[in-house]
Structure 1
């Protein structure tokens, strides 16, 4: 007789098993596009696209098409005029785990389906409070934690999308200035699919007392959700290596918030990145991000070389 520890809502696939699910889905991406899509120090190649992301895109396409049929059926049932409601995908996971690369890959591949050519990608960085507000609240050192986001604005954005509003705006964030860009908006117009990428998008709200009845989660608006997972030791290594690379690139921009780190030696860069990880990112990972992992519909587990080694898919 099995124990409760052995129960799981997920089916587990090895990389080889998952790759077979691609079937006849064609490869419509070039090496040049791959270079454009991958993030700093991330690993992405044609084999990774073929083995991992083409099967995943095929799965999402099947879900999205079925969801569109469901929306049509519901409007018929309600005797209402049908509205165009986008299929929303959430992507969560730690800093430096490769979420942005995966989001860009899915954005590129999904937009090539005839059923849903209009695909938008929105990052939750734009819904962070401006630095001045974080300073006012005394939580500048908790940037990226749930309390550093304007969750009401994010929920309102998602509500407008799911209500079929034809034009919705999202604030824009700059990784150079490390702040919200004043008076700049990302316009999302009549999308078929919207990808929402951010470290805490599967995080439930923290309620006052024990009152949960009227709370709305960001993930309540998702039709499909992905958690990008990896062992902490690997994520730390990727974070440190990315920091070292940025020291030679983006940090040298005169407008960069982090330009003070550009002249650090290798040893100083390692110590600085490790300190930021230990005091901020590691705490956020364990308190807020990892506990949401099993709320996802799909978990992509990466190995030490930044390549996906295992896939867990929620049972229907």
Structure 2
């Protein structure tokens, strides 16, 4: 069994009818978190749904008001309390929950874009700071059934990150500057949390 099949099997064992489970997929920018989350969800079909942490990015106007626009993606550029509250609601599974979605093409979150009905047994959530051990992020670890940390080869991660920035309209120079600047500063914070994961995955594709 290859690594992807192993991950699908782990997820499938948690996706039991009548029981709400939550898997967190953590990793640095460009690690492939959303790609893996969506790939596992696609295999499980209606048994799983993906909810991203990035839907809790503060709006660009608010980042500019706070003077944090140049550090977009850092822990204090998210509505962390809002994300923790959402995960608590998903854990309680008392009815349909609507989650936000981050649109990379406009660099803004869209409210109420993802519906999570109570009959969906597995929620897969992905983001940078799921394992960060500082308030309020530190409350998340106990709410997840499992957390997988994605840690690909650093050169591959950086290449994908630059390619993503280019795909969304940045010039080659701007993409490199973002990847090696604020993105790398955030990556170092994330990479330091890997030891809190249930499973560290270096390669799954």
Q: Same fold (TM over 0.5)?
A: yes
Q: Is the 8 A contact 1:90 1:226 kept in 2?
A: yes
Matched, 1:152 2:152: no
Distance 2:53 2:32 in 1: 15
Normalised to the residue count of structure 1, the TM-score between the two structures is 0.59
Distance 1:136 1:241 in 2: 29
Q: After superposition, where does 1:8-47 map in structure 2 within 5 Å? A: 19=1
Aligned-residue offset at 1:61: 2.5
Matched, 1:90 2:24: yes
Residues 206 and 129 from structure 1, CA distance in 2 versus in 1: closer, same or farther, beyond 3 angstroms? same
- Stretches of structure 1 that go unaligned for 5 or more consecutive residues are 1-18, 20-50, 69-83, 112-116, 208-214, 252-260, 309-316
What is the Cα-based RMSD across aligned positions, in Å? 2.1
User: What residue is the counterpart of 1:300 in the other structure?
Assistant: 201
Specify the structure having the higher radius of gyration (Cα): 1
* 1:205-261 CA distance string (max 9 Å, x none): 248xxxxxxx852222100111110232332222223334x1xxx43xxxxxxxxx3
Aligned-residue offset at 1:296: 0.9
Q: Is the 8 A contact 2:15 2:47 kept in 1?
A: no
Tell me the SS of whatever aligns to 1:129. coil
Matched, 1:280 2:182: yes
Aligned-residue offset at 1:151: 1.2
Tell me the SS of whatever aligns to 1:230. coil
Distance 1:240 1:134 in 2: 23
* 1:19-41 CA distance string (max 9 Å, x none): 2xxxxxxxxxxxxxxxxxxxxxx
Aligned-residue offset at 1:276: 1.1
- Stretches of structure 2 that go unaligned for 5 or more consecutive residues are none
Tell me the SS of whatever aligns to 1:202. coil
